[in-house]
Amino acid sequence: MKKVELLAPAGDLERLKTAIRYGADAVYIGGKKFSLRSRASNFDIPDIEAGVEFAKEYGAHVHVTVNMIPHEEDLDGLREYLLELERIGVTAIIVASLSIMNLAKEVAPKLEVHVSTQHSSTNSSVIKFYESLGMNRVVLARECTLEDIKATMEQANLPVEAFIHGGMCVSYSGRCTLSNNMTDRDANRGGCAQSCRWKYRLFKDDQPLHDEEKLFSMSSKDLCAIEYVPALIDAGVSSFKIEGRMKSQYYLATIVRTYRMLIDEYYAKGEVSPARIAFYRDELSKAENRRTANGFYAGHPKMQDHLYGINGSGVSQEFIAYVLDYDEATKIAKLEVRNNFAKGIQAEAFGPDTKNTNFIVDMLYNEDGEIVEVARNPMDILYTKIDIKIKKHDMIRKIIDKREKIY
Ligand code: SF4
């Protein structure tokens, strides 16, 4: 059986490398033009080329979102852009417009064309239609239930991709103009301001429906499909997509590594026990900063799957350092500081090939050999001794016992 692909987002080249090092089989990125989230993208052509070269070293692939809904003025330069992507060895483009699908097939036939989730594909009939157009993959709507997917896969011939983790819309994904109306930022041309998550006053007949203290928001909880991974593999889904091109390097490393371990365990053993699912949930919670739910997999979301009136977010302070190097002989780790921490704290190292390794930061010094009591400045270079072997590119997080449980 061909193993399901783990497809991760990346907002820049550094995050692309992290996602691949931590276990992604493929990464999707957006260029500076023709992409949703273009405001968040740092990929120009040389960066995409560098990303493709890096991915090749790991046998991984790069997909590029060309998923804007183009107006007449947006078509300028599109043909040349597609030719460039094909030339530099991008595997696939993710497309939301029939005009771009058509053009890509005409001018850049080596590029796979994946039909974006913005097309709200929810059944086998629409997948057959895209197959007839020569498309190579369909990204299912996030609004599909597991039963929808099973029924679809019995009939579908094209590979399909399903979201397993990340943000959700309260509207049908890609069919929302709330941001356009509220901010004049076009959600379908890269500008969604997430207006659904703002706080609103509700009125009926000029009377407020709630007191001033409790403002109302329409935010969906983020998707976490960890319990559905085995069933989605059994159903025949070809690719698991993680949402979040604006997420941090630490978030990506944690989420990708966790799903990598879960997928590999399922293929190796044919099952994942409830205790292991609980372990993976706990791993995810070390990076999550929003509450999560099952999305549509169990059926239509209920009250408890939304966040009404609460924001539900908070910045995780757990990521404290990136491992730039590790000397196995002296056991000295060279760290790049990310968030402040003090000598004496309990910490945990983890990495692509490093199991969670707990240790106490009992010594800390800088490049001049001076003792440091508190690492205060992000990007400072510091050194510490870690007796258990870790590796370059591992990460260090602070253990917080009383971390709020978000599941
Ligand atoms: S405003 Fe909210 S529902 Fe609309 S596209 Fe943006 S995130 Fe989705």
Q: Which of 56, 27, 58, 59 is nearest to 43 (CA)?
A: 27
What is the number of the ligand 1 atom nearest to the C-alpha of 195? 1
Report if residue 310 sits inside a domain.
Answer: no
pLDDT of residue 315: 46
- Torsion from C-alpha of 27, 31, 36, 38, nearest 10 degrees: 120
Ligand 1 atom 5 nearest Cα: 176
Instruction: CATH number of the domain at 349, please.
Output: 2.40.30.10
User: Which pair of structure tokens corresponds to residue 173?
Assistant: 């994904």
Q: Are residues 80 and 146 in the same domain?
A: yes
Report if residue 119 sits inside a domain.
Answer: yes
Q: Which residues of 257-293 are buried (b: 16+ CB within 10 A; e: fewer)?
A: bbbbbbbebbeeeeebeeeeeebbbebbbbbbbbbbb
Give residue 118 CA to ligand 1 midpoint distance, Å. 12
Is the minimum distance from the CB of 40 to ligand 1 under 6 angstroms? no
Q: Are residues 124 and 88 in the same domain?
A: yes
pLDDT of residue 339: 92
Is the minimum distance from the CB of 36 to ligand 1 under 6 angstroms? no
pLDDT of residue 185: 83
CA–CA distance, 81 with 325 (Å, rounded to integer) = 38
C-beta neighbour count of 246 within 10 angstroms: 14
Report if residue 370 sits inside a domain.
Answer: yes
Q: Are residues 245 and 389 in the same domain?
A: no
Is the minimum distance from the CB of 196 to ligand 1 under 6 angstroms? yes
Q: Are residues 64 and 166 in the same domain?
A: yes
Q: Which residues of 311-327 are buried (b: 16+ CB within 10 A; e: fewer)?
A: ebeeebebbbbbbeebe
Q: Are residues 337 and 260 in the same domain?
A: no
Q: Is 26 helix (H, G, I), strand (E, B) or coil?
A: strand
Q: Are residues 347 and 385 in the same domain?
A: yes
β-partners of residue 161 are: 139, 239
Instruction: CATH number of the domain at 64, please.
Output: 3.20.20.70
Report if residue 207 sits inside a domain.
Answer: no
pLDDT of residue 214: 74
Radius of gyration of the chain (CA): 22
Is the minimum distance from the CB of 194 to ligand 1 under 6 angstroms? yes
What is the number of the ligand 1 atom nearest to the C-alpha of 182? 1
Number of H helices, E strands in the chain: 10, 23
Q: Are residues 93 and 240 in the same domain?
A: yes
Is the minimum distance from the CB of 183 to ligand 1 under 6 angstroms? no
Is the minimum distance from the CB of 187 to ligand 1 under 6 angstroms? yes
Give residue 190 CA to ligand 1 midpoint distance, Å. 11
Q: Are residues 79 and 133 in the same domain?
A: yes
Is the minimum distance from the CB of 176 to ligand 1 under 6 angstroms? yes
Burial of residue 198 (CB within 10 Å: 0-12, 13-18, 19+) is middle
User: Which pair of structure tokens corresponds to residue 385?
Assistant: 């001794």
Q: Are residues 9 and 52 in the same domain?
A: yes
Q: Are residues 278 and 230 in the same domain?
A: yes
Please give the residue range of the domain that contains residue 366: 319-404
Report if residue 393 sits inside a domain.
Answer: yes
What is the number of the ligand 1 atom nearest to the C-alpha of 197? 2
Give residue 121 CA to ligand 1 midpoint distance, Å. 18
pLDDT of residue 407: 37
Give residue 192 CA to ligand 1 midpoint distance, Å. 6
Q: Are residues 45 and 120 in the same domain?
A: yes
Q: Is 259 helix (H, G, I), strand (E, B) or coil?
A: helix
Q: Are residues 273 and 367 in the same domain?
A: no
**pLDDT tens digits in sequence order for the chain, 407 residues long:** 789 999 999 999 999 999 999 999 999 999 887 876 655 567 999 999 999 999 999 999 999 999 888 889 888 999 999 999 999 999 999 999 999 999 999 999 999 999 999 899 999 999 999 999 999 999 999 999 999 999 999 999 999 999 999 988 888 887 888 888 888 887 766 678 888 888 888 888 888 887 777 788 888 889 999 999 999 999 999 999 999 888 899 999 999 999 999 999 999 999 999 999 999 998 998 887 788 899 999 988 887 778 776 655 554 558 999 999 999 999 999 999 999 999 999 999 999 999 999 999 999 999 999 999 999 999 999 999 999 999 999 999 998 765 444 43
**Total domains present in the chain:** 2
What is the number of the ligand 1 atom nearest to the C-alpha of 170? 3
Report if residue 9 sits inside a domain.
Answer: yes
Report if residue 399 sits inside a domain.
Answer: yes
Report if residue 180 sits inside a domain.
Answer: no
